[in-house]
A = this chain, B = another copy of it.
């Protein structure tokens, strides 16, 4: 296990810490977002959709999301191999959080654009 070794002890059961325990991985919410929007369900698609996430990190985060029961994986024994990731019903329960993030992010981007700050890739 490489990342997210239960950083949050959830003293007094703070609900926000509990949530972070599951989605605080660097790319997890972005992955969930793409799964929600069905922009991407295959490993390669996700990788292309989230350019700044290395394939290694993508694999790790997917594994942890699967371990935590938020997503499930289906493998097709074909050549070339194919894999399909999707939200479990438990994973779907977290949609409101991700959609709230989407919504605020759009607002934030708009504010930045109005202030002349470039929102696009800053490469």
Whether B120 pairs with A13 at a CB distance below 8 angstroms is: yes
Known: A52-B11, A102-B15. A93 touches B107 (CB 8 A): yes
Whether B121 pairs with A12 at a CB distance below 8 angstroms is: yes
Tell me the interface secondary structure of chain A in the complex: helix
**For this complex, into which size category does the number of interface residues on chain A fall?**
35 or more
Residues in B with CB closer than 8 Å to A106 are 15, 18
Whether A108 pairs with B18 at a CB distance below 8 angstroms is: yes
Whether B12 pairs with A102 at a CB distance below 8 angstroms is: no
Known: A6-B122, A15-B108, A19-B104. 8 other contacts (CB 8 A): A9-B122, A9-B123, A12-B121, A13-B109, A16-B98, A16-B102, A19-B105, A94-B104
